[in-house]
Amino acid sequence: MTTRLPGVFRQLRWAQQQPPAPRAPRGCRPGIATRLPFPPWGSIQVPCRAGSGGGGSAGEGLLGQRRLQERQSGSSGRAGGKAPLKPDAVVREIIQNSKEVLSLLQKGNPAFKPVLAIVQAGDDNWMQEINQNLAEEAGLNITHVCLPPDTSEDEIIDEILKLNEDARIHGLALQLSLSSFSNKILNALKPDKDVDGVTDINLGKLVRGDAHECFVSPTARAVIELLEKSEFIIDGKKVLVVGAHGPLEAALQCLFQRKGAMTMICPWKTPQLQSKLNEAEIVVIGSPKPDEIPLSCIQPRTTILNCSHNFLSGKHECGVQFNGLTVEDDVGLLAAALRIQNVVNSGRRWLREQQYRRWKLRSLKLQPLSPVPSDIEISRGQTPKAVDVLAKEIGLLADEIEIYGQSKAKVRLSLLERLKDQADGKYVLVAGITPTPLGEGKSTVTIGLVQALTAHLHVNSFACLRQPSQGPTFGVKGGAAGGGYAQVIPMEEFNLHLTGDIHAITAANNLLAAAIDARILHESTQTDKALFNRLVPLVNGVRAFSGIQLNRLKKLGINKTDPSTLTEEEMTRFARLDIDPSTITWQRVLDTNDRFLRKITIGQAKTEKGFFRQAQFDIAVASEIMAVLALTDGLEDMKNRLRRMVVASDKKGQPVTAEDLGVTGALTVLMKDAIKPTLMQTLEGTPVFVHAGPFANIAHGNSSVLADKIALKLVGGEGFVVTEAGFGADIGMEKFFNIKCRASGLVPNVVVLVATVRALKMHGGGPSVAAGIPLKKEYTEENLQLVADGCCNLKKQIQIAQLFGVPVVVALNVFKSDTRAEIDLVCELAKRAGAFDAVPCHHWSVGGRGSVDLARAVREAANQGSHFGFLYDVQLPIVEKIRTIAQKVYGAQDIELSPEAQSKIERYTQQGFGNLPICMAKTHLSLSHEPEKKGVPTGFILPISDVRASIGAGFIYPLVGTMSTMPGLPTRPCFYDIDLDTETEQVKGLF
């Protein structure tokens, strides 16, 4: 009784790493692969049995020596009556050529090594052995997927689909019994990896005449090669292909017809077989011959080419007299060499695709209307591309994306390893002048710019945006998907939930908050011994530390791993964190504007045994975990940042971290999917990454480092990545340079500074602007004086960018009320102030076409080169770093520290955190700390009321005045207008 092999056995044969070993036994068996010796040239390991004939001896079993016989000195098919070709030289030439090609590819890509995967269902190893030997000679690797003989069609397809999506596999070949082959199995192969040319797509291209764009059957090519290399004249000959099936039959027929031969196709069991054999000058055997069919009718001087590895095998007594026949039984070896060549060519194509190339991206056409409809009407009027189509267009592999619905996908970080040798694109930051409360359209400019670059100038470009919080979405501000004809779509999905990253942050943040209070409670109600025993419980009679507990022991300097060996003093130090409740800085979060959670009391239930304290809720995007997500560059780095997060101090003044609470691993698990950027698209079908959304006041207000890094690789050396910084340049841009670029190591090439005539008029002395209140006539009528006076703020922001050595292009976001004179004045004054260029933009009303001039200006500025440098050295004392920002960026005369701020600075310095960069938390409505002061205030003293630290994220944040981290709902929130059509499931009233 035969027992079915459990599961799938994979044998990865690394050609250069295995020592020579004896010939592997036949049959597909699990175990460590052995290196098969390469067969001597002039011999073949294709099973074949030759019948007896005049002047020749019959072979027995596996024919060890190559048999290539010519009984007559001249053959009608050979030019000049030459002897048939010994194919050894052809095989050697193909393998040597493949080896040289691979060597050239590896000069630029040392780690590159193509892999051929063979899927086998059954015990016959003939194909595996031949391919293994030739692959080793050429320098390839082989993966052998060995399935039981009775594997079902669906199971075979499952294995094929896994290999299709494995970027390490460059060629796929099937070794199945004839009964196992089906069109469904064959067409499950990815055409780009189908090195045997059996899929309908590859066969279709061959028939159409596009052989250079597809893989051609190695067996069919080997037949033609043997004839042509023997100088056999194919043109005008009658060719009979007998016993071939499906792809091989089609490939042979196509190739022979291209050479001018008349091709006949015939199965073994047909009445016409004998007559067709009688008239054929070339016979190609495609499958084993049944015993009952004689071949005595084959005419002398007929050339027979055997494509079946067991034709004339020891299982059959064919009784063929070879008088006058040419039997070519070396097709299998030559086909194997050509298969290896196909794998190398596949690897070469794959490498070429990893290099910079202009995307073949299908842009989505816009038909702008006037007046411009609402944002959601425009969004709904455009049908987005399927996200997997977009991913393929920009060079993402199928196994590098995780699709969420039709229009969103997470992108895996493995992409960075694949493209590590790819040159980065140009890095562009969009910042703004000091804004009005209405905002000046940085997101819209960002999206309009990439639409112009990719959809109109055909330059690879990516937008990288922050994920918006649901708080403002349902509150008063609305979403952040851009606007008009420069949007991310679908905009309702962009603004609602997206892929759940903020919910993951909320869960992780609140788990840590719960751990803090639970630990304080348990420490206050248990003895040292009871606490230790519960922290390190008995399991099956044995106590053992977890990995994170061993880390705590190491931090405490206790070099022990056995709980039973700790002294009482060591157990106490290990078990007790002694958190001082008055120093807790970690708050619970919620992604909803809820003013009544700004100050709360927790622990009032009787079960908490009288332990209660004042606390608060922050909005979710204010969590330090959000800042960690935005600044991390990988899973390991994120885990280390989460580990370092300081949540409080103990009663001795030492920091207490997430690692001390034992929650680091759990936080990382909750964040493992959130770390992957989300791929979406603009209205014109260009790619966008949406990832992370840290506050722009108590955090740095920029999208993630990972999104930028991945995008820079995808666009390639001549492409552009455009990202946006929150608030004005004095806040968002300064933090982008001093915090984000310092963390990422990326160097910006250009700053796009967004301005509006409306905001400039406000800075020039115009009436106050407030959300929900109609604009005064000064803003809707031409007023050149207000514009000219307000350009002082624009000039100051240009100067701030120049402090960092980066060229500035001013993007004037044009509104319909702006006049030509006002637009020209702003552009002229911006250039006088030192901007590389100043360009009016109309993307809101017409899409990317309205920002083409901006895109051209950005390209020119990027070619000028930047001289980027940081504003301060992080080794400076905390106070000096704060003073540098206040004076050089804001224009303050000096700073003033409150006693609390001074105390915190001393504590952080003593705890070893003094060398972190500074993240100033101040109003975004003025360069100073007073929102009502517009233009360019000078001579003021900047008050620092408090100083806090985000150690995991990696910065100190001084508070200028009071700073709310939980917004409230207005009298009439946006949710009054939001509804769902229950029949169509369309969201209504969202912007």
Catalytic (active-site) positions: 442, 444, 466, 477, 696, 727, 815, 844
Q: Which residue has the tokens 């194909």?
A: 127
Closest CA to 670 of 516, 551, 513, 500: 500
C-alpha distances in Å from residue 78, one per residue of 85, 284, 302:
10, 17, 11
Are the C-beta atoms of 312 and 290 separated by less than 8 Å? no
Are the C-beta atoms of 734 and 696 separated by less than 8 Å? no
Number of H helices, E strands in the chain: 33, 36
Q: Which residue has the tokens 């624009």?
A: 794
Amino acid (one-letter) located at 976 = Y
Distance from chain centroid for Cα 819: 44
Are the C-beta atoms of 195 and 215 separated by less than 8 Å? yes
- Residue 302 CB-density burial (10 A; 0-12 exposed, 13-18 middle, 19+ buried): buried
Closest CA to 421 of 108, 874, 55: 108
Q: How many degrees, rounded to 5, is the angle at CA 937 between CA 934 and CA 942?
A: 115
Closest CA to 402 of 393, 412, 416, 389: 412
- Residue 990 CB-density burial (10 A; 0-12 exposed, 13-18 middle, 19+ buried): buried
Are the C-beta atoms of 942 and 960 separated by less than 8 Å? yes
251 Cβ contact partners less than 8 Å away, ≥ 6 residues apart = 197, 203, 206, 216, 217, 219, 220
Local structure of residue 466 (DSSP, 8 states): P
Q: Which residue has the tokens 């005049």?
A: 54
Separation between Cα atoms, residue 656 and residue 538, nearest integer Å: 27
Q: Side-chain half-sphere of 432: how many Cα atoms within 13 Å?
A: 30
Separation between Cα atoms, residue 170 and residue 194, nearest integer Å: 9
Separation between Cα atoms, residue 630 and residue 628, nearest integer Å: 5
Backbone angles phi, psi at 291, to 5 degrees: -60, -35
Are the C-beta atoms of 303 and 77 separated by less than 8 Å? yes
What pairing do the DSSP bridges indicate for beta strands 461-465 and 720-724? parallel
Separation between Cα atoms, residue 562 and residue 566, nearest integer Å: 7
Backbone angles phi, psi at 139, to 5 degrees: 100, 20
Separation between Cα atoms, residue 54 and residue 71, nearest integer Å: 9
Residues in the chain: 991
Q: Got the DSSP string for 858-890?
A: HHHHHHH------SS-TTS-HHHHHHHHIIIII
Alpha helices in 655-746 (DSSP H): 664-671, 705-715, 734-735, 741-744
840 Cβ contact partners less than 8 Å away, ≥ 6 residues apart = 812, 814, 823, 827, 853
Q: How many degrees, rounded to 5, is the angle at CA 259 between CA 256 and CA 261?
A: 60
Alpha helices in 781-932 (DSSP H): 784-803, 820-832, 843-846, 852-864, 878-885, 899-910
Backbone angles phi, psi at 401, to 5 degrees: -125, 150
Q: How many degrees, rounded to 5, is the angle at CA 792 between CA 881 and CA 774?
A: 110
